[in-house]
Every structure is written in C-alpha cells, then in structure tokens.
Amino acid sequence: MSQTSGATPTTMALNNTDAAAQTIPPPARTIPMQVAAPARIRQVLINTSLLAIGAAFLLPLLWLLLAAFNPHATASLSAPRFSLHNFHYALQSGAGGAIFNSLYLAGVSTVVTTVFSTLAGYGLSRRRVPFKGVILIGVLFLSALPVTMLIIPTYQMFVTFGWLNSPFYTSLVLGATALPFAVWLLKNFIDQVPREFEEAAAAEGANELRILWRVIVPLALPGILVSAILTFINSWGSFVIPLILDANPGESPAAVGIYQFMSANGQVQFGPLAAYGLLFSIPVIILYVISSRWLSGGFSFAGG
Amino acid sequence: MTASTGSFGSPSLAVRPAERDDADRLRLSTFAWVSPAAVLVGVFFLAPICYALYLGFTNLELLGPHASSYSFTGLANIQRMVHDPVFWKSVWLTVVFVVGSGIIAQTILGLVLALLGQRAHVSVRISVGALVVLAWVLPEVCVAFMWYAFGQAGGLLSQIVGHPGTNLLSSVPLLIVCVANAWRGTAFSMLVLSAGLRNVPSEVDEAAQLEGASYLRRLFQVTLPIIRPTLMTNMLLITLGTIGDFTLIFAMTQGGPGNDTAILPVYMYIEAFQFNELGYGAAIALALIVLGALLSVLYIRQLRPELRRAGNP
C-alpha cells in the first residue's frame, strides 16, 4: 500500500494491477519519460470516474442515514437536524419486537443449517456415500434454484400439517433453502483439511464425533463461519417466506414489518422508516465486516 | 478402528491397506452424518418441488369450496396460461428485468468497477468498493424502501433527473425497479470479476502493450477472452438470482401500476394470494422452476471441471 501511494507518476503508469505493484517493483527503464504526463492525466481520470460511480452508490446510503436522524425527513436529501425521534417512533411501532422475531428466525435457521451442513459436508468429504456424484450435482442444482417459486406448495403443506404461523417451522424452511449451498461450501472446505490429523486422532482412540468436533471443526472454522454468516444474512433479509408462512400479527420479522409499515397508512413516514431500516441493517453490516476477511475465500467458489 | 486392533501384532505394513479398505467401505454411520441434512432438504425443499408438480395441475384455491376439495384438472391451468395476456406480459417483463438490470447493467457496471479499481489509487478503490458492497449487504426490503422514496414526486431521483414533480414509479416503473436492482446487485459482479481479473497473468497484457496495442484492443482481445469463463459463470448466477426475485419489486410497487412491473414471481403471488388461485399460481411457479432448472443445468455444465475434481478426491 505504501509502495503504491508513494509511487511516482512514471511507476504509476506501469502498475497495471495492484497485486503487481505489491509484489514486483516495476521496471522503470521500459517507459520513456514523456509518457509520464499523459499517464498522470489518465490516473486522474480513472480515479475521478471511479469516485463518480462511488457517489451514485453513496447518495442513497447517505439519504438513509440522514433521514433516520431527521424528524422532518422527506424523500429528498435535506440538512441533518439530529434527533433520535424517528428511532423512538419506530420502536414504539413494533420495530423492537420485529427485530427480535428476525433474530429468532435467522438464529434458528443458522444453527440448524450450520450443524447439519457440517455433518453432511464431513460425510460427503470423507466417507463413501452411494451416488456421491449425483448427490453433489443435486446439491449444486438446488442451491441455484429460485426458492420463491416453492412458496405455494410449502404454504399448502403448512396448511395440511397445521404448521402455519409457527416461527419454528418457518425457520426450518429458511434453513432448508440455505442448506444446499452450505453443504456445497463446507464439503469443499473440509476437503482441504489434511487427513493426517484425523488419522492421528483415530490412532489415539478418539471416536468419530470427537474427531469432528476437535479436529475438523477447528481446522475448517473459517469456512463454517462464512457459511453461518451467509445463512444468517440470507434468513435475516428473507421476506416472502415469513410473509406467507408466519403471518400472525406481532410475530412477523422486521423485513415484513418494514413492508407493512410502508403500506400501513396512506402517508409514508420516511423518517421513522429510515430509522427502522437502519436498525434492521446494522446487524448484517456488522456481520459482513467481521466476515469480509474470509468472504473472498467463499467467493472463489462462485467465481470458478 | 477394528482394522487397527485386528492387525495389532503385524507390522505397520499390514495396517495400511486395511485402513484404505476401511475408508472405501460403505458404513452405516455415514448415514448418521448425511441424514439430518437430507431429511430437512427432503421435507422442506424436495417435497415442495414434487408437490408443486401436482398442485400446478389442480384447481386449488386459497378460500372457498376449492380450498379443501380441490381436484386434478389436467392441462386446464396450462391452457389458461397460454391464453392469458397478463402471463405473457409478465414473461416479457421478467426477460427485460433479468437481461436489463441483471445481465447487462450489473455485468457491465461490475466490470467497469473492477477494471477501474485495478488501476485506481488503493484508497479510492477500497472506499468505493466498500460503498458498492454496502449496497449489496443491506436487506432487500430496505433497498426497496429507499428506491421507493427516491422515485416519489419530490424524491431524490426525481430531482436529479430534473422532474421533481413527477412520480417516477408511476411514469417509468420498470426503469426504476431495474435501476434499484442494478444498484443493489452490482457488488456481486464487481467481486467476482475483480477476482477473475486478478488471475489474468500480467505478462500477457504487458506483451500486448509492448506491441503497441491500445487499451480497448487489449481489453477486448486479451483480457476479456481470458476471463470469459468467469464472465459466463457470473452472468448465469445473476440470471438465476434475478429470475426468482420477488422482494425488491413487490415491496416497491406490488407489481403495479396495473401489471407494469409484475414479473413472474410477483404475478404468481398476485394470482395465488390476492386472487386466491393457488393452483394457477403453482402452475406459473412451475413455468419458472422449469426455466430456472434449465439455467441451473447450464450453470452446472460451466462448473463441470470443478465438480469432477470434487467427485473423486
């Protein structure tokens, strides 16, 4: 980083990638000196256009932040008049309970998915499983399927078995829809754990559960955490499944709560809604920041 | 473990093959590892898929006499679908939404961000990247609310485009939901394509540069062909992610005004839960599952080399 920021315009022209800048010092001799001035202009252009795109992403986020603290917020950007009134109003309108419900749904589905996918990932990675190839293709297939499309049969199933409006069963649906991707992710992570440790533990007489808990889980922990955090973020934001399966008033998660708050009274109250949205977003932002260290590893799977 | 006790007296030479047999043998305990996940996916994922295959061919309704005593109606739903102009409009809207806001906007914007980020100052790249990712991490309902607000008369977007008095969500609703979806989803392409660009060996580009090839020529004839597999995977994943998208549009417009933003998932919801036609809704869902399944097969074919490696460790 310090290398790049301290670089002269001549070396800048050569820094095609930041990765290259960090590892290989650019050979300055290949570029004649007169290139330096246009290269500097180009550098300014590149940074300016990136910043311009960044501004388009910043503006809506800035609006959300300012509107949340502005008791007279409108749909347009306005000068901040700092007040916590909106948060007060949102919490009085049930935001607290809804966020608690979100926590329950996302928490249960994350625990279930993470435990089950670790077990299955271990089994698929280490054991002989009949039709393993077919199962793995099926897992990948399911993880890519648009889940929203299953809401009608799932609803009818819930009607038949009397599971409607049960937060627990709703969270199981959320967990099941997250499972295929989690299994795929964890099978790949556990594949990378060397087998020698297990063999050593087995030689000392450790049973299989102990090996999983004491050897595999610690070594695959980054992968397990990534999978858990992705599941949590997904379940936290899920909307249509709780909207239909868990519709009891007072039991809805915040995603549904915000929607109902939007459409409740003819006049949309931008300030309280922005505060509600901010409260609802903060947990996933924090989780994302915590996990961003490992997420790049997770993305290389999707990136192929 | 039985193998090692059995070969207790023999030298380590004998233990090796015995252990390998152990790993290859199908063991009952394997089912204990895999079955919790299998049962959960079976009950709450596979069963609904199979159930949809049946419900799509029934006259099931949300309320009324056909709510409890529904019956198999053969191809009636399919027939209705073929003659339903709203369905075909919905298919068209889905295609525009997926191709416009997903494949074109997100891929191009993501690629531009990745390319600019490669050459920009580190601090600029990191801060802009963080903003783009933040837009992606925010819950979808929250994004829907934000863009709903901006499209209103007097909203941020209406002011920026110079029509502060217009409600953009009623004059150009499809455009606004597309912009919102592109804003929200670009981070994924940016991350995937940045990773792809990092894997392009810099020597290739430098060689072309020494030959005097212009930047655009190098981009289209060197860089993009190299990251083509990544680009393809990225587009497929975006398509699969966008095609089933419900929350963003539903929370912003509920499919309206009229049916002008009712892409297939939204139309399915409207038919099933607002017009009580669960059977017809399930048939619409089936149409989309079939479409999604075809795309998933394409995706799996893209990942085949990786899959082959995973299959035989």
B313 or A96: whose pLDDT is higher? Answer: A96
- Is B268 within 8 Å of chain A by CB? yes
Find all residues with CB under 8 Å of A231, minimum gap 6, and list them.
A109, A110, A113, A114, A175, A178, A182
The domain in which residue B126 lies consists of 84-311
Residues B157 and B25 occupy one common structural domain? no
> Residues 56-115, chain B: which have Cβ within 8 Å of A?
60, 109, 112-113
Total domain count for chain B? Answer: 2
Residues B42 and B96 occupy one common structural domain? no
Residues B22 and B130 occupy one common structural domain? no
Over 50: is that where the pLDDT of B11 sits? Answer: no
Say what percent of chain B tops pLDDT 70.
Answer: 88
- Is B24 within 8 Å of chain A by CB? yes
Q: Domain boundaries in chain A? A: 2-68, 89-303
- Is B49 within 8 Å of chain A by CB? yes
B189 is a domain residue: yes
Whichever domain contains B307, its CATH number is: 1.10.3720.10
B61 is a domain residue: no
Over 60: is that where the pLDDT of B10 sits? Answer: no
Q: What's the topology of domain A89-303? A: MetI-like fold (1.10.3720)
Q: Which chain B residue's Cα is nearest to A253?
A: B141
B127 is a domain residue: yes
Question: pLDDT tens for residues B24-81?
Answer: 677 778 888 899 999 999 999 999 989 988 888 888 888 877 777 788 888 888 889 9
pLDDT per 10-residue tile (average), chain A, 304 residues:
34 38 47 62 91 93 89 75 83 86 95 96 89 88 84 92 92 94 92 88 86 89 89 92 88 89 76 91 88 54 31
Over 90: is that where the pLDDT of B83 sits? Answer: yes
Question: pLDDT tens for residues B248-278?
Answer: 999 999 887 888 999 999 999 999 999 988 9
Q: Which two tokens stand for residue A102?
A: 């979100």
DSSP 8-state class, residue A29: G
For residue B257, cis peptide bond before it (omega within 30 degrees of 0):
yes
Q: Which chain A residue's Cα is nearest to B199?
A: A19
- Is A158 within 8 Å of chain B by CB? no
- Is A26 within 8 Å of chain B by CB? no
CB contact under 8 A, B156 and A63: yes
pLDDT band at B310 (very low <50, low <70, confident <90, very high): low
Q: Of B41, B145, B300, which is closest to A137 when you measure between CB atoms?
A: B300
What pTM was estimated for this model as a whole? 0.82
Say what percent of chain B tops pLDDT 90.
Answer: 36
Mutate: best of A49, A57, A113, partner B, most B CBs <10 A: A57
- Is A255 within 8 Å of chain B by CB? yes
